């Protein structure tokens, strides 16, 4: 009797690590070939990226600044994913939160400490309001949230483009498609790393504890696994769905506020830097684990930082986006392969008996 491979519902952690490592190496080989065809040395590029990121204080600062919004946008997607809700509109919610906080920062008195608190609240409220339409449409109308959240991304982008070239345009320096400099700023904790990085990190940790050790977290897992069963069990399906969708929008909006008050200090076109869409990739890499969002966010932030370095080497930043897409594709394949384990002949002999015992118990 020969060994055979069988798919199991839960992939062993060792398998996940192994197959993901293979996917990463395979992606690097493809990118290395592309770089070589472009006339660059892959080894030289890797050396420059490692030296500029890990052996430079500026590299570490940029790395954490890129990770900060990814912590929140990935958490925003993961919150909805627990209930089988696909929030594709985090890009729009990010911009809505940035717009709301920028308005507060521009027009509130700067000498007041509470202006930052008001900006925090405005960022969250902006994201919540932008998510309100898809949330109520999903809960009370059964509308697919993928369509509504995705379409609102374009509305948010056009709205921001309008205000930064119209009502909020910079009349001081005449910068194109940008608001004036926003004076209220998040406190710095290390170099250019602002307090928002710490807050985002803490939020992810609190969400991890909430999802695993509270009744609501358990109810969310039940609803996500079987909504119909949860409804007949008396769980507040609609209430939890609505609250978590609004929370998802609020987290994405808060990420927009951190970018405005912590990094860019302006509202401008392209502010989001695709953090909303990249948050989806981070959440997928984390495989539903909130604590896993932290290393996954740092990994994608490293790729974004590498993209800036590649531009200094006369390579297009789109190469990093292509690498990210390839990596996601190969990791998706790797995660599926991780579910297959090799059974020995003696395990094969026991399989029919286990199946018969389950069938007898069912009868």
Average pLDDT, integer, range 92-107? 93
Alpha-carbon distance of 227 to 73, in angstroms, equals: 25
Given a cut of 80, is residue 314 above it in pLDDT?
no
Per-residue pLDDT, 361:
42
Residues 178, 182, 185, 188, CA torsion sign: positive
Using the predicted structure, report yes or no on whether residue 296 has a pLDDT greater than 70: yes
* CA dist., res. 253 & res. 165, Å (int): 21
Give residue 221's pLDDT: 85
Q: How far apart are CA 332 and CA 308, in angstroms?
A: 26
Q: Which of 130-144, 191-205, 262-276, 320-334 has the lowest mean pLDDT?
A: 320-334
- Tell which residue, 108, 165, 103, has the closest CA to residue 129: 103
Q: Check residue 359 and give its pLDDT.
A: 43
Tokens of 248: 């998802």
The single residue listed with the structure tokens 């430079």 is 56
Which one is predicted more confidently, 10 or 187? 187
Q: What Rg value do the Cα atoms of the chain yield, rounded?
A: 23
For residues 79 and 85, what is the distance between their CA atoms, to the nearest angstrom?
Answer: 8
Residue 74 has a pLDDT of 93
Q: What per-residue confidence (pLDDT) applies to 317?
A: 66
Q: List the domain boundaries for the chain.
A: 67-294
pLDDT at 169 over 50: yes
Q: Which of 112-116, 187-191, 254-258, 336-340 has the lowest mean pLDDT?
A: 112-116
Q: Which of 155, 158, 105, 103 is nearest to 131 (CA)?
A: 155
Residues β-bridged to residue 341: 6
What average pLDDT does the segment 204-219 reach?
Answer: 89
Q: What percent of the chain has pLDDT over 70?
A: 92
pLDDT of residue 351: 47
What is the DSSP code string of 56-100? -HHHHHHHHHHHHHHHHHHHHHHHHHTTT-----HHHHHHHHHHH
Q: Kindly indicate the confidence band of residue 360, based on its pLDDT and cuts at 50, 70 and 90.
A: very low
pLDDT at 287 over 90: no
Q: What is the pLDDT of residue 72?
A: 94
Average pLDDT, the chain: 85
Residue 168 has pLDDT above 90, yes or no: no
Nearest to 179 by CA among 189, 192, 193, 169: 169
Asked whether residue 145 carries a pLDDT value surpassing 70, the answer given is: yes
* More reliable by pLDDT, 315 or 34: 34
Q: Which residues contact 97 (CB under 8 A, 6 or more apart)?
A: 122, 123, 124, 126, 127, 130, 250, 252, 253, 254, 255, 256, 257
């Amino acid at each position: 009797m020969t060994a055979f491979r069988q798919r199991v519902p839960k992939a062993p952690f060792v398998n996940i690590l192994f197959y993901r490592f293979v996917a990463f190496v395979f992606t690097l080989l493809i990118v290395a070939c592309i770089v070589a065809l472009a006339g660059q040395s892959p080894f030289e590029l890797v050396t420059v990226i490692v030296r500029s990121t890990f052996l430079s204080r500026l590299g570490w600062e940029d790395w954490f600044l890129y990770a900060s919004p990814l912590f929140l946008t990935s958490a925003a997607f993961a919150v909805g994913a627990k209930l089988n809700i696909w929030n594709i509109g985090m890009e729009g919610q990010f911009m809505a939160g940035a717009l709301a906080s920028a308005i507060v920062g521009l027009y509130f008195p700067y000498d007041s400490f509470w202006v930052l608190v008001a900006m925090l609240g405005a960022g969250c409220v902006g994201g919540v309001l932008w998510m309100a339409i898809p949330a109520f449409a999903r809960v009370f109308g059964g509308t697919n949230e993928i369509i509504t959240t995705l379409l609102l991304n374009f509305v948010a982008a056009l709205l921001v483009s309008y205000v930064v070239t119209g009502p909020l345009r910079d009349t001081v320096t005449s910068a194109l498609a940008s608001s004036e400099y926003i004076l209220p700023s998040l406190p710095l904790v290390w170099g250019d790393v602002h307090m928002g990085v710490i807050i985002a990190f803490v939020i992810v940790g609190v969400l991890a504890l909430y999802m695993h050790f509270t009744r609501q977290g358990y109810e969310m897992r039940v609803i996500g696994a079987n909504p119909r069963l949860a409804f007949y069990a008396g769980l507040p399906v609609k209430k939890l769905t609505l609250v978590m969708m609004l929370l998802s929008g609020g987290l994405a909006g808060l990420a927009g506020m951190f970018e405005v008050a912590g990094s860019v200090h302006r509202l401008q076109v392209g502010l989001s830097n695709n953090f909303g869409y990249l948050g989806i990739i981070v959440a997928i890499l984390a495989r539903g684990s909130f604590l896993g969002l932290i290393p996954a966010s740092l990994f994608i932030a490293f790729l974004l930082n590498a993209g800036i370095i590649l531009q200094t080497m006369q390579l297009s930043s789109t190469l990093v986006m292509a690498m990210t897409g390839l990596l996601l594709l190969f990791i998706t394949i790797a995660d599926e392969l991780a579910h297959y384990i090799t059974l020995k002949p003696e395990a094969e002999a026991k399989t029919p008996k286990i199946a018969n015992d389950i069938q007898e118990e069912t009868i």
